[in-house]
Amino acid sequence: MSEILIEGRNLTKEFTAGRKKKVHAVTDVSLQILQGETLGLVGESGCGKSTLGRLLIRLLKPDSGRLLVHGEDVTDLSDKEFGKYRRQLQLIFQDPYASLDPRLCVRDLIAEPLKTWHVCRTKEELTQRVLEKMEEVGVPGEYLYRYPHQFSGGQRQRIGIARALAAQPELIVCDEPVSALDVPVQNQILNLLNQLQESKGLTYLFISHDLSVVRHISDRVCVMFLGTICEIGKTQEVFQNPMHPYTRFLMNAILPPDPHRRNDQAELLSGEIPSAVNPPSGCRFHTRCPYADERCRREMPALQDAGDGHQAACHHTMN
């Protein structure tokens, strides 16, 4: 059994949206990330994936709930006290065009975390360390003093990965790191992430709405809907035996590579996503679920284990 690296317990986060309105971004979510694994986090846009990722590395503080790193409760630590954990928890952003400061060259972009954590003693050592990180992610050393606008999207994302690696983290939250890239470049970045994980023993929380990408890279998959977790389990088990109706609808929406093998009889999800400002009572999915009954409308289902760590939050699936 792998050690638990990060654990969130009953995390809740709301944001103010105008006068007397709140967006219920994450509601009572409990989640564990194991050392050395890749946990895929999927769901429709606006379901709270990115917010949950930022809560788990404390870029956002929860309104309620607890956050544990290696079993130590870090929820109420001051920013200074949390500093020793900050280096272990890094983030790769979705947009390689917006995540890099256009005023800084590659050397200075990658050197920033090295300076923050006082990793190097001299400028020469700092430059050498930056060159090592560039080599690890496949960016030629002769580009050391180039600026972000001089690179392609894939090259910029490699620079973003090098920047995250510079702090020598244990966990990297990958927030849709390939969604803004062309498909061939996506494959290159995914292969790079796999190689880095194997060589450095990294742990990933991989956030995406692309199920094919998640299936390719993840050891376990967590499915979210409107701020709550619907289902979680080993990747193969969740894809072959989805237990929650929402997960089944997501699987039905995947288009096969061969259009002649498309299942036109597959049931697709209808209706609109409920508002996160005024979420439904009971199960958040009941307004779109064809199996919903009065209990679903009244009572929020808890995650229940069906064996081997496969859990689903549905009144009907488990009965």
> Residue 269 belongs to a domain with what CATH number?
3.40.50.300
The answer to whether residues 211 and 222 touch, using CB atoms and an 8 Å cutoff, is no
Structural domains in the chain (count):
1
Residue 13 lies in a domain: yes
pLDDT of residue 318 exceeding 50, the answer is no
Residue 103 lies in a domain: no
pTM for the model stands at 0.93
Residue 301 lies in a domain: yes
Instruction: For 134-158, write each residue's pLDDT tens digit.
Output: 999 999 999 999 999 999 999 999 9
As a whole-number percent, the residues of the chain with pLDDT over 70 amount to 94
The answer to whether residues 199 and 30 touch, using CB atoms and an 8 Å cutoff, is no
Residue 28 lies in a domain: yes
pLDDT of residue 169 exceeding 80, the answer is yes
Residue 30 lies in a domain: yes
Rounded Cα distance, 14 and 24, in Å: 5
Averaged over 290-303, what is the pLDDT? 93
Cα angle 183, 208, 218 (rounded to 5 degrees) comes to 90
Sequence-distant (6+) residues with CB within 8 A of 170 are 5, 35, 88, 89, 202, 203
Residue 71 lies in a domain: yes
What order of strands is seen across the sheet that includes strand 22-34? 22-34, 4-16, 64-69, 72-73
Q: Which two tokens stand for residue 298?
A: 């009244």
Phi, then psi, of 112 in degrees rounded to 5: -55, -55
Residue 223 lies in a domain: yes
Averaged over 24-36, what is the pLDDT? 96
SS3 163: helix
Note the pLDDT of residue 4. 96
Residue 49 lies in a domain: yes
Domain containing 181 equals: 4-88+169-312
SS3 206: strand
